[in-house]
């Protein structure tokens, strides 16, 4: 149960950081913000494993900053892609405001 709570808190923090980095409105609620952070941590973990392959096998508390940094990068990349795919484009609204 504590592990699930730590995933939720970490995902929420990472999602909030990504939302602070990307400009403009992002219509995300709590659940999507947590999901964004968790998915971003996964993407960031994959990226950090590619960049620092030995670090993943022997994690050290004093060297955990690459994981956090890459989790923020991964969350920001995912949010940027989400905003790009869901933004309103000129001329795509239906007549009558529907």
**CA dist., res. 27 & res. 9, Å (int):** 20
| Mean pLDDT, rounded, for 68-88 | 87
- Domain count within the chain: 1
Residue 44 lies in a domain: yes
Q: What pLDDT is attached to residue 76?
A: 92
Helix, strand, coil percent content, the chain, rounded in steps of 5: 75, 0, 25
The band of 54, judged by pLDDT with boundaries at 50, 70 and 90, is low
Please check whether residue 93 lies inside any domain of the structure: no
20 contacts 44 by C-beta, under 8 angstroms: no
The yes-or-no verdict on residue 13 having pLDDT over 80 is yes
| Residue 8: inside a domain | no
Higher pLDDT among residues 66 and 46, named by residue: 46
Query: Where in the sequence is the domain holding 75, given as residue range(s)?
Result: 29-85
Is pLDDT above 80 for 77? yes
Q: How far apart are CA 49 and CA 21, in angstroms?
A: 23
pLDDT one-digit tens code per residue, 16-53:
899 999 888 888 888 988 988 899 888 888 887 787 77
pLDDT value at 89 more than 80 = no
Residue 45 in any domain: the answer is yes
């Amino acid at each position: 149960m504590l592990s699930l709570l730590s995933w939720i808190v970490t995902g929420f923090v990472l999602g909030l950081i990504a939302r602070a980095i990307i400009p403009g409105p992002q219509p995300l609620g709590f659940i999507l913000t947590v999901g964004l952070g968790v998915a971003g941590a996964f993407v960031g973990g994959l990226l950090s494993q590619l960049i620092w392959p030995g670090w993943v096998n022997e994690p050290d508390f004093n060297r955990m900053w690459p994981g956090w940094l890459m989790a923020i990068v991964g969350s920001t990349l995912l949010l940027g892609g989400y905003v790009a795919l869901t933004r309103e484009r000129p001329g795509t609204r239906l007549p009558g405001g529907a």
